[in-house]
Amino acid sequence: MGRTVNCLEASRLARNGRDWHHLIDLCALSGALVIDLDGVYDPRHVNDRLLLGLKGSMSEYELSLMRQRGLAARDAKAGRGELRFTLPPGYCWSEAGRIEIDPDEHVAEAIRLVFAKFRELGSARQVFLWARQIGMRLPVVRRNLTLCRIEWRPPAYHSVVQILHSPIYAGAYAFGRRGNRMQVVEGRARKTSGHRRERKTWNVLIRDHHEGYLSWAEFEENQIMIGENAHIQKRAERKAARGGRALLTGLARCGACGRMMRVFYGSRPSHAHRYQCRGDDAHVGSGLCIGIGGGRVGRAIAAAILEAVSDRAVEAALLAADIAAQAGAETGRVIERELEAARYEVEIAARRHELVDPAKRHVARELEARWNTALERVVALEQRLAERNRAVYAAPAVDRDALLALARDLPTVWNAPATDARIKQRLVHVLVREIIISLDEAANEAVLVVHWSGGRHTELRAARVRTGRYQPERTADAAAVMRKLAGRWPDRELAVTLNRMRCRAPDGGTWTTVRARELRERLAIAPFDVAAAATTISVDATAQRLGICVLSVHRLIREGILPATQIMPAAPWQVPVEALATEAVQIGVRGVIARRPKNIELLQWTDLPQLPGF
C-alpha cells in the first residue's frame, strides 16, 4: 500500500489556507493520497485538488467566523460591564457579577493609604520609598491555574505604579487597556502583548460603574501628575519639581520659540543656576535661543507667590498644626493591621500543626517551621509598634502659637535655610500653570508672564545682570598685587591671594586660575619659575614635611621659632627649606607633638581632601 494521509475530516489538518495548500503540494509531490470519511483524494488530479481546495477554504471561513463571533460576544459582554477578568488587589467579584470593594479591611486600607500618600508626596517613587522606609507590605494578586488570591509582599515600584494607573480604583470599568504589537524580526513575525494603549483606543470605558477608592477627577489629576514626573518625555509640556535650587523647574517656557526651558547648574553649590532654551540647536545647529540667570527671576516669582498666599497663611498654619499632631497615625494603623493579620496566620499555622499525624515527622517538622516563622513575624511587628509608640510619645508637642507667628511672617519661613526646596517648588506648581520668559534688551530686563492656575495672567519684570561694567580701580589694585607676587607663585596661588585680599575680577566676580593667568599675560609678567622658588616652600608643604598641622606652623611663625617671609599682607608665607632642619624648629615641632592627646591618631595630610581655592 502507498503513502496515505488518513483523517476524519481533511480540512482539520490545517488552520489556514497557506498551511492547507502547502500540505496538498507535499502530498502531490510525494504521491500520497488524502483519505477522509467522504472519500479518497489524489492531489495530483485536478478535480481532486479543486475539491480539497474548496474544503480548505470552507474550513478557514468557518474558523474565522467562529472566532469573529466569539470576539464579538466578548466585546458585547464587556460593553455591558459584565465580562469578568482578574481584578487588581482591593476588589473582588460578587456572586451577582458586580465589582465590589474587598471586604478585607487590611487590603482596602493599604490601597487607600497609597493614594493618600501620593497626593501628599506627589511622586510614585516617593510613595515607594516611604513604604519601604516604614516596612509596609502591599497586597499583590497571585494567579495560578485555578484561582487568584492575595499575597502580602514588600513594596515594589511597579506595584505602586500599577495601583496609580488602574482606572478600576476610580470606579470605572475598563477593558482593552493593553494591546498587541507585531514586528518582523529576521524575516519572521514576532507578536508581543501587554503594550499600553491610549485611553481613546480602549475597547470599553464605563465610568461610575462601581464604588471607587477615589473619584474620576482625582484619578485624572493623578495621571497628569505622573506624566509631569516623566522628565524624559514630551519636553513641550510642563514637568514636575524634583528638588534643586531652581524654583521654576518644569514651569519656565521660552517666550521666543515656545519650548520648555532647561535648568543648568554650576559645578559648585555656590554657583548660580540658569534657565536656558536650546531652540533648534540640537537638530539644525541654529544656536541657543534665550537664557537668563535664575536668581533674580526666582526672587521675583517668590515675591508674587508670597503676596498671593498671604491671606491664607493663617489657615495653612492651622492645617499644618493638625497634620503634625496626627503625624505617624497612618504608620501606626499599618503596623496594627499587619500585626492583626500576622496573629491570624499564627492561629492558622497552629491549627494545621495540631491536625497533622505525629507519626508523619517530615510533615510535622515543616508545619512547625512555618509556625515558628509566623511567631517571629508577630514578635517583630510588636517591637515595631512599641518603638513607634515610644517615638510618638517622645515627639515634642506642636506649638500652634509659633506656627501662627510664622504664618504672619511668610518671607522669613520661605527664605529659611531649613525650608525644603521641594516643598517650595510644589507650592509654586500648585499655584502657577506656567511662566513665559522673554527678554527686553532695551531695558535689560526679563519679562515674566505668570499663568496662574485660576486662569489669570500677571506680568512681572526682573532686572538682568549688567555685564562688562566694573570699576577701573579694582583692576588697578589687582595689577599692583600681581606685579609684586608674579614669578614667585603659580597662577593658582595668585588667584587665591587676590580673593583673600578681596580684590575683584574685572567683571566683579572672584578670581580663578584662568583669570589670574590672563591678567599676568596682559601685564607682560613672566610665569612662575620652579627652579628659582626651590629654596622656599609654602606653609602647607612645611606642615606636611614636619608632620604637624597648618595652624601649628602659623603658631611657630608667630612665636619666631620658624623663620618665614611675606611679601605683602595676606600674601602666602615663604619658608626657607634649610630652616626646617634647625635645632629650634625641631624642638618646637616636638613640643607640638607632645601636646597632642595620646588617644588621638595622627591624621596624615595625604588623607585630607583637597579644598578648591586653598
- The CATH number given to whatever domain includes residue 549 is 1.10.1660
Number of domains comprising the chain: 5
Separation CA 121–CA 221 (nearest Å): 14
* Averaged pLDDT for residues 578-602: 74
Separation CA 182–CA 193 (nearest Å): 9
Separation CA 553–CA 540 (nearest Å): 9
* Averaged pLDDT for residues 90-97: 87
Same-domain status, 21 and 129: no
Same-domain status, 57 and 154: no
The residue with greater pLDDT, 280 or 573, is: 573
Bridge partners, 444 (sequence order): none
Same-domain status, 38 and 122: no
Domain end position, chosen among 377, 394, 411: 394
Q: How confident is the model at residue 299 (pLDDT cuts 50, 70, 90)?
A: confident
Domain end position, chosen among 79, 94, 121: 79
Q: How confident is the model at residue 581 (pLDDT cuts 50, 70, 90)?
A: confident
Residue 56: which of 7, 120, 119, 109 has the closest Cα?
7
Residue 587 counted as domain residue: yes
Residue type, 5: V
Residue 553 counted as domain residue: yes
Residue 380: which of 349, 345, 350 has the closest Cα?
345
Residue 235 counted as domain residue: no
Count, residues in the chain: 614
pTM of this prediction?
A: 0.57
Residue 403 counted as domain residue: no
Same-domain status, 25 and 96: no
Residue 400 counted as domain residue: no
Could you list the residue range(s) of the whole structural domain that residue 210 is in? 84-181+193-229
Q: Report pLDDT digits (tens) over 422-474.
A: 778 877 887 788 888 888 888 888 888 888 877 788 888 888 876 544 344 44
Separation CA 560–CA 558 (nearest Å): 5
CB 446 within 8 A of CB 437: yes
Same-domain status, 89 and 225: yes
Same-domain status, 105 and 225: yes
pLDDT > 50? residue 612: no
Same-domain status, 134 and 159: yes
- Alpha helices, H only, 46-178: 46-79, 105-121, 124-134, 157-165
Domain end position, chosen among 201, 229, 257: 229
Percentage of the chain beyond pLDDT 70 is 80
For residue 450, the model assigns a pLDDT of 87
Same-domain status, 486 and 566: no
**In the block, residue with C-alpha cell 470576539:** 71
Helix 550-558 vs helix 539-546: angle between axes, to the nearest 10 degrees? 100
Report the relative pairing of strands 575-576 and 536-537 from DSSP bridges.
antiparallel
Q: What is the mean pLDDT of the chain?
A: 79
pLDDT > 50? residue 600: no
* Averaged pLDDT for residues 330-355: 82
For residue 471, the model assigns a pLDDT of 43
Q: What is the DSSP string of 180-227?
A: EEEEEETTEEEEEEEEE--GGG-SEEETTSS--SS-HHHHHHHHHHHH
Q: How confident is the model at residue 169 (pLDDT cuts 50, 70, 90)?
A: very high
Same-domain status, 93 and 13: no
Burial of residue 250 (CB within 10 Å: 0-12, 13-18, 19+) is buried
For residue 145, the model assigns a pLDDT of 52
Same-domain status, 20 and 153: no
Backbone angles phi, psi at 32, to 5 degrees: -85, 150
∠ CA 20-21-25, rounded to 5°: 120
**All three cell numbers of 401:** 502659637
Separation CA 93–CA 86 (nearest Å): 9
Residue 165: which of 91, 207, 126, 222 has the closest Cα?
222
For residue 610, the model assigns a pLDDT of 43
pLDDT > 90? residue 170: yes
pLDDT > 90? residue 164: yes
**In the block, residue with C-alpha cell 629654596:** 535
Report the relative pairing of strands 148-153 and 173-175 from DSSP bridges.
unpaired
Residue 88: which of 145, 170, 194 has the closest Cα?
170
C-alpha dist (Å) from residue 495 to 59, 87, 504, 515: 89, 68, 10, 8
Q: Report pLDDT digits (tens) over 397-435.
A: 555 666 566 566 667 777 777 777 777 887 788 778 888
pLDDT > 50? residue 380: yes
CB 243 within 8 A of CB 421: yes
Q: Report pLDDT digits (tens) over 7-28.
A: 766 666 777 778 888 888 888 8
* Averaged pLDDT for residues 367-380: 86
Separation CA 405–CA 317 (nearest Å): 9
Task: Assign residue 123 the CATH number of its domain.
Answer: 3.90.1750.20
Q: How confident is the model at residue 327 (pLDDT cuts 50, 70, 90)?
A: low
Radius of gyration of the chain (CA): 39
For residue 33, the model assigns a pLDDT of 86
Q: Report pLDDT digits (tens) over 36-81.
A: 878 888 888 888 888 888 888 888 888 888 889 999 999 899 999 8
Separation CA 280–CA 580 (nearest Å): 62
Separation CA 26–CA 477 (nearest Å): 99
Report the relative pairing of strands 39-41 and 457-463 from DSSP bridges.
unpaired
DSSP one-letter code for 271: S
Q: Report pLDDT digits (tens) over 192-250.
A: 888 888 888 888 999 989 999 999 999 998 988 888 777 555 455 556 556 677 888 77
Separation CA 431–CA 429 (nearest Å): 6
Residue 167 counted as domain residue: yes
Same-domain status, 198 and 88: yes
Residue 315 counted as domain residue: no
Residue 389 counted as domain residue: yes
Separation CA 508–CA 531 (nearest Å): 34
For residue 597, the model assigns a pLDDT of 60
Residue 154: which of 178, 177, 129 has the closest Cα?
129
Stretch among 57-71, 315-329, 440-454, 583-597 having the lowest mean pLDDT: 315-329
Q: 514-526 burial by CB neighbour count: b if 16+ within 10 A, else e?
A: ebbbebbeeeeee
pLDDT > 60? residue 355: yes
DSSP one-letter code for 311: G
Same-domain status, 51 and 98: no
Residue 27: which of 10, 8, 9 has the closest Cα?
10
For residue 318, the model assigns a pLDDT of 58
Stretch among 22-36, 145-159, 310-324, 509-523 having the lowest mean pLDDT: 310-324
pLDDT > 60? residue 614: no
Q: How confident is the model at residue 147 (pLDDT cuts 50, 70, 90)?
A: low
Separation CA 265–CA 294 (nearest Å): 10
What is the Cα 320 distance to its own chain's centre? 26
